[in-house]
Amino acid sequence: MKLLDKIKNIIIPKDTLGVVWLYTLGSVFWLAVAGIAAMNLRTYLTYPANSPSVGELYYSALTIHGWSGIFGFVQFAPAAIIAFAMYKSKLSVIHTKLMALYFWLGSIFLAIALAGSPDMGWYMYPPLAIESNSQFHAFLFYTTPALMGMAYLFLTLTFILQTASYITLIVDTYATKPPNEKLNIFAAYGVAFAIVIAITLPALAASTLWYTLHFFAGVPVNPLLWALLFWFYGHPVVYYVPFPLFGALYYYIPQFAGRPLYSEKWARWNIYLLSIGSMLIWVHHLQTWPLPIGLRIWVNLSTLILASGSGLTVLNLGLTILTSQKYNWKDPVGMGALIALVGFILAGVQALVLPENSINPIFHNTYYVVGHFHLMIWTLIVMGFVTVFLDMLKTTFAGFNFSEHASKWMRIGMIWWTAPFLGVGYTMSVAGYLGLLRRMIAYPTFFQPFNFIESFLAEIGIPGLLITLSIGIFDTLAYASKQTVFSQPPSPSSLTLIKAEEEVKKNG
C-alpha cells in the first residue's frame, strides 16, 4: 500500500485502523486548539488586575479551551482508543463510512458553534449562556436569538453524531466478536465505556437542545434542573478518556512487566463498579447548590464506591509492576504507561477530599479543583493517549519498532512534559487552597507569584510533549520511507489464521 493510499484511508477510512487514525488525528487537532487557547489564558493570568474589557477576549479563549478540550478532544479520543482496542482484540469496525461521517460532520458542526466565539464558560450555566444584552453576550459574534439558537442546534447535532459513533462501535463489537470467546481486557474496557458514553452523552445533547428550543420555541429554562441534567453528562465525561485508557494500561503494563496481570478478576469486576458508579455521582459537583441533603449523602456513597474501584485499579497495576522481575521502562510505550499510572495516583490523591460533604466547600470553585483535574489530564489522559498513539504507530507499520536513539529521546520528552506539569498542578492546588478562585481575571496580588510559576512551568513543559510526538512520528516515517510498498498489518481474520496455524504446528 502506498503512503498516499494510507492518507486517503485516514480521511475516508475503509478499515478499522483507518478509523483509529481519523479519530486520533482529529483528537490531536482539538487538543492542540485547547492547548493554544490555554497558553493565551496563562499569559493574561500573570497580570492580577485585568480590566473587564479584557474579559471578552479572555472568556472567549477560556470557552474555546473548554469546548475544544471537552467537546472535541475528550469526545473524539475515546472512539480512537476503543476502535484500537477492538483491533487489538481481533474485532473490526464494519461501518467505517458512517464513522467517517460522524467525525467530519461532528467536527464541522462544533467548529460552526465555536465560530460564534462563545464566552459563557464550558459548562454553559443558564441564564448566562442564553444571555445577550448590555451586560453580557453569551456569544461575541452570534448575538441575535436566531444565531444563538443555531449555535446550540449545531452543538446538539455534534453530540448526537458523537453518541451515534459510540453506538456504532458497540454494535460492531458484537457483530465481529467471535462466539464463545472473551474480549481481551483492553477491548472489554473500551466497549463497556462506549456504553457509558452512549448513555450519558445524550444528556448533553438534551441540555443544548433545551437551549435551542428556548430560542426557537420560547421554552423556559430552569437553571437548577438544567444544571442537574448537564452534570449527568458533565461528571462522567471526565472518565470518557481515562476508563478506556485503564483498559490500555491493563493491556500494556503486564506486557512490559513480563508477567500476567496481578488479578484479571479484579480488572473485570471493576468494569461494573466504574461504569455504574461513574453515572451515579454527578451531584457532587453541586455541593454548594441549594439541593436536598439526601442527594449529598447519596453522592458521598456513590463517589466512595467509584473511588474504591479506582483504588483497586492502582493496586492491581501497582502489584503487577512490583511483583515483576523487571519493568521495561526503556520502551517508550512502557514508559508512557508507567507515567500515566503514576500520574493517575498523584492526581487522584488530590481528589480524595473533594467529594466529602464537609470539606468540599473549602475547595469548590477554587484553583484546587483546577489543579486536580488538569493534572489528571496532563498525566493519565495525555500521557496515556501518547502511549496508545505510539503503539498505534508500531501496529500500523508491521515490523516497525522505535530505534534506541529515538526511544531515549521520547523517554526524555515524556519526563520533560510530566515533571513541570506536576509542578503546575500542585501549585494550582496550593493557590486554590489558599483562596485563588477559578475563572477570574483579577485576583489578590498575593497570588501573582503562583500564577507566574504556573505559566513559566507550563512553557517549559510543552516542548516535552512535542519532542515525544515528533520523534515518534519521524522515526516511523523514516522507517516507512525505506519501504517501497508497506506491508499491511495483519488483519483480525489473518491473525486468527496465524494463531490457528501456530496451534497446528505446536500440536501437530
Partner 1 sequence: MDIKEHAEEIWFIIMLLLVATFFTWNVYYILTGKSFSLRYGLPCFSGLPPEAQEAVKYFESHPPPAGQYSEVVNGILVVNLTAVQYKWVPNVIIVNKSEPVVLIINSPQVVTGFYLRLPNGIINVNNVPGIPSYVYFVTPNQPGNYTWRDAEYAGYASSYMTGTLEVVQ
Residues that bind partner 1 (CB under 8 A): 50, 52-53, 55-56, 59, 120-121, 125-128, 131, 135-136, 223-224, 227, 263, 265-266, 269, 286-293, 296-297, 300-301, 304-305, 308, 311-312, 357-358, 360-362, 364-366, 435, 437, 439-443
- DSSP annotation of 286 reads G
For 95: left if phi > 0, alpha if psi spans -120 to 50, otherwise beta; the answer is beta
Alpha carbons 263 and 350: distance in angstroms, whole number? 26
Q: Identify which of residues 136 and 373 has a Cβ nearer to partner 1 in the complex.
A: 136
Alpha carbons 6 and 329: distance in angstroms, whole number? 31
Using CA atoms, how far residue 11 sits from 18, 109, 165, 322, 393, in Å, is 8, 17, 16, 42, 17
Q: Tell me: cis bond preceding 127? Omega within 30 of 0 counts.
A: yes
Tell me the closest approach of the beta carbon of residue 356 to partner 1, in angstroms: 9
Burial of 101 (0-12, 13-18, 19+ CB in 10 A): middle
Tell me the closest approach of the beta carbon of residue 146 to partner 1, in angstroms: 22
Strand partners, 7: none
What nine digits make up the cell of 36? 493554544
Tell me the closest approach of the beta carbon of residue 433 to partner 1, in angstroms: 10
Q: Identify which of residues 132 and 401 has a Cβ nearer to partner 1 in the complex.
A: 132
What nine digits make up the cell of 337? 504507561
Using CA atoms, how far residue 92 sits from 32, 62, 89, 225, 272, in Å, is 29, 38, 9, 40, 24
Alpha carbons 210 and 33: distance in angstroms, whole number? 27
Q: Identify which of residues 365 and 448 has a Cβ nearer to partner 1 in the complex.
A: 365
Q: Identify which of residues 16 and 117 has a Cβ nearer to partner 1 in the complex.
A: 117
Q: Let me know the angle formed at the C-alpha of 149 by 208 and 109, rounded to the nearest 5 degrees.
A: 70
Please check whether residue 410 is in contact with residue 332, taking contact to mean a CB–CB distance below 8 angstroms: yes
Q: Count other Cβ atoms within 10 Å, centred on residue 286.
A: 20
Q: Identify which of residues 257 and 283 has a Cβ nearer to partner 1 in the complex.
A: 283
Tell me the closest approach of the beta carbon of residue 443 to partner 1, in angstroms: 7
What nine digits make up the cell of 428? 494550582
Tell me the closest approach of the beta carbon of residue 4 to partner 1, in angstroms: 47
Tell me the closest approach of the beta carbon of residue 470 to partner 1, in angstroms: 36
Q: Identify which of residues 179 and 290 has a Cβ nearer to partner 1 in the complex.
A: 290
Tell me the closest approach of the beta carbon of residue 482 to partner 1, in angstroms: 48
Q: For residue 274, give the amino acid letter.
A: L
Q: Identify which of residues 15 and 56 has a Cβ nearer to partner 1 in the complex.
A: 56
Q: Identify which of residues 265 and 330 has a Cβ nearer to partner 1 in the complex.
A: 265
Tell me the closest approach of the beta carbon of residue 294 to partner 1, in angstroms: 10
